[in-house]
Structure 1
Amino acid sequence: MKIHPLITTTDALADLCERLAKADFITVDTEFMRENTYWPELCLVQIADDKEAAAIDPMAPGIDLKPLLDLMCENEDVLKVFHAGGQDVEIIYNLTGKTPHPIFDTQIAMMAVSQSEQIGYSNLVESWLGLSIDKGARFTDWSRRPLTERQIEYAIGDVTHLSKIFPKLLKRLIKTGRGEWLDIEMEKLADPENYRTDMETAWQKIRAPSRNPAVLGRLKSLAAWREREAMDKNIPRGRIMRDETLADIASHPPRDQHDLAKVRGLSTGWKDNDIGRRLMQTLADSKPLTEAEMPPKTPRGAPLGKEGALVADLLKLLLKIRSREIDIAARLLARTDDLELLAAGQRKNLPILEGWRFEQFGRDALELVEGKLAFAVVNGKLKMAHIDDIGGSSAEPEIVVHVDE
């Protein structure tokens, strides 16, 4: 594979992207810094197909990334391959308002061919190529220039290895017939809504201090205010105010700005500075949540109760058994929330009752909660069996644990 020198000009980037546009797939990775900024700072882009690879310096003076971004977001003929690509996709979305498409994530794909929940890149390379990755450059400050040859070599390795792994992984997916299982997961990864900052819903990521509409209304206003402040200053939102402090102010709003000096987590300067004044104005302008805006009384669905919790535990056991039997990550088959909803009696809008998940797991999960399926230990291994097959019967639906001697 041909490795190009670091690309620092628009012309060289355009030439590279013109060649890569003819490939069936490209592998992509980014290096960025976000510890001190609201927006991640893109420092390096690595890209490869099966013939060539290069690192692109987005910080080079005068370079225009348009050829690269067009390849990522406008060219539908080239598959973009990432590993654990959520943050990489976020960066591209921040630059363009679009996401790479079509897209493939090898971390997600590994969940369909193994029981690995979130396999790291180093383990992926070791398992597929038998190579150990030099981790010495992991903690590089990628924003510093100039980059050393060792740093660039390390960074490019992320995409050259991936370009060799992807075809092998694709063959296994085709052989197992599980490629179609991933279509929905990949579309979720490429959904722009995952990366769009929504001021109106920022409060939902903060642990609600109460269910009082006035308190939640203040929390909603404060969360949106914090996002604006952090964006304007390009600093992490936690540098403006921590979640706990935000929730505390929503629950116990200060009477006047001077009282901000008494709030744990804020400096005394807040009692008379501009940001403190903006906070107080935000509180004054906040309104209680309407009934339609109020969150549900339980995180998802109906409360389980003691019996429902036991049923949920059995469903989790079934999930472990099935994921082991078909060699798939349990997390790809079902989420804990969905198992609890099924145990609580919900039957609509559950992913496990649709498509391939129903065929592989959902049907048995339904039969388990309806008392038609039981656990059995056969030759020392825990398996599932139909009640009729093991001689069980019941006037009312029940879950049976059967031990075969």
Structure 2
Amino acid sequence: MIASIPSIPSVITHCAELDQFVERVQDAEWIAVDTEFMRDSTYYAKLCLVQIASADCSACIDVLKLDDHSRLLELLQSPQQIKIFHSARQDIEVLHSEYDLIPQPVFDSQIAASILGLDEQISYAELVSQILDVHLAKTESRTDWSRRPLTSAQINYALDDVRHLGPLYLHLKKQLEDNQRVHWLDEECTGLCNKQQYVVAPEHAWQQVKGVGRLAPEILPITQALAAWRETTAIEKNLPRRWILSDQSILQLAEDKPRSEAHVTMSLRKDSSKSLRYSKVISTLLEQAYKNTHPLHFVDRRLSREQQDLVKRMMKVSRKRSELIGTSASLLANRKSIVSLVLGLESKIMQGWRRQEIGQDLMNMLN
């Protein structure tokens, strides 16, 4: 078993301490990174803590206490140093919204493990247990990371999230090299670090409204207007979308087509009273939306019986292939990507390493 990173339990709250820490780790080949944040009552996650470890030291960087974060950002953006995360997407999203940066280059241990045949959603604790035979406590998993001072239990829990990432990286990297799959992970992490994934476009928010696929095409412009307004308002007020207007209310308003503020209020009451304060604004918005005759196209992902049968056969082929090559079936070709292929839409199955491993075989089944 690879030895765990020796810990130096500490919390950095002053710029001089951060300078000293950065000087100590900036020349390391890699650093392990994790974040703690809160998102219960805001649109944007509130970053509370950034944990970083190298091979010989680790620290919790208290971003709520620090006046200047520039040295931290310098470290996260160093192009020569590998940043190891586990399930990096949310961490990258938070760092992007907080600092407008994407840390690179990234090694995601969850993706690496799934490439090597473990479950695509394997948790950090489970991976540490399986590979390092270390069993992590879960006592602080629901803690409020915005409260100060941090307890020693919170600090140790947070540091545990990076202490073992280095040994995991060394183990997984060797396995990827032995199986000639380093380029698989490179492709996945390159996609993960695509900044466009983290850019909010209010005009496209309607496509994420749950149930929008059942609406008639002629009322989709109404849905677009409501969803775009909700997104913009949620961003401006930094409140969760559902606190502004729920998906169900958007669908209800689009279908009811209320023609007055009173009728808007009646529609809103069918779902929740939280949005009633916006009745007047929504009424004005709808008046403009009703004048929009520009058609919107929503991809209908419903399958015919023949297509459903084909998807099932493709998934069976994919599972057999994943077992043969020893990789996660859902990473290789999940149902969503197979459905996209069957519908003639862009599918990641036909890109990069997946095209070689399974894409062409599935494509042949279409002909």
TM-score (norm 1): 0.83
Instruction: Measure how far apart 1:38 and its partner are.
Output: 1.1
Matches within 5 A, 1:222-371: 222-263=226-267, 264-267=270-273, 270=276, 273=277, 275-286=278-289, 287-288=291-292, 290-291=294-295, 293-296=296-299, 298-299=300-301, 304-343=303-342, 346=344, 349-368=346-365
Matches within 5 A, 1:3-402: 3-60=8-65, 62-73=66-77, 75-206=78-209, 207-208=211-212, 209-213=214-218, 215-263=219-267, 264-267=270-273, 270=276, 273=277, 275-286=278-289, 287-288=291-292, 290-291=294-295, 293-296=296-299, 298-299=300-301, 304-343=303-342, 346=344, 349-368=346-365
AA matched with 1:308 = Q
Root-mean-square deviation (CA, aligned residues, Å) is 2.1
Secondary structure in 2 matching 1:284: helix
- Structure 1 pair 200–121 and aligned structure 2 pair: CA distance change class (3 A): same
Aligned to 2:3: none
User: Which digits, 9 at most, give the CA deviation of each residue in 1:260-315, with x for residues without a partner?
Assistant: 33221242983xx5x32221221122253634x4223x23xxx7533333222111
Instruction: Measure how far apart 1:349 and its partner are.
Output: 5.0
AA matched with 1:265 = D
- Structure 1 pair 289–30 and aligned structure 2 pair: CA distance change class (3 A): farther
Distance in 2, Cα, partners of 1:117 & 1:30: 21
TM-score (norm 2): 0.91
Q: Percent identity?
A: 33
Distance in 2, Cα, partners of 1:364 & 1:254: 51
Unaligned runs of 5+ in 1: 371-405
Instruction: Judging by fraction of residues, say which structure has more helix.
Output: 2
AA matched with 2:127 = L
Equivalent residues of 1:115, 1:324 under 8 A apart: no
Equivalent residues of 1:257, 1:280 under 8 A apart: yes
Unaligned runs of 5+ in 2: 1-5
Equivalent residues of 1:216, 1:289 under 8 A apart: no
AA matched with 1:312 = V
Distance in 2, Cα, partners of 1:153 & 1:311: 50
Distance in 2, Cα, partners of 1:39 & 1:366: 40
User: Which digits, 9 at most, give the CA deviation of each residue in 1:360-392, with x for residues without a partner?
Assistant: 22343345555xxxxxxxxxxxxxxxxxxxxxx
Aligned residues: 357
Secondary structure in 2 matching 1:26: strand
Larger Rg, first or second structure (1 or 2)? 1
Instruction: Measure how far apart 1:232 and its partner are.
Output: 2.4
Instruction: Measure how far apart 1:228 and its partner are.
Output: 2.1
Instruction: Measure how far apart 1:130 and its partner are.
Output: 0.5
Q: Comparing 158-167 with 64-73, which one deviates more in the overlay?
A: 64-73
Instruction: Measure how far apart 1:68 and its partner are.
Output: 0.8
Instruction: Measure how far apart 1:24 and its partner are.
Output: 1.1
Distance in 1, Cα, partners of 2:139 & 2:338: 42
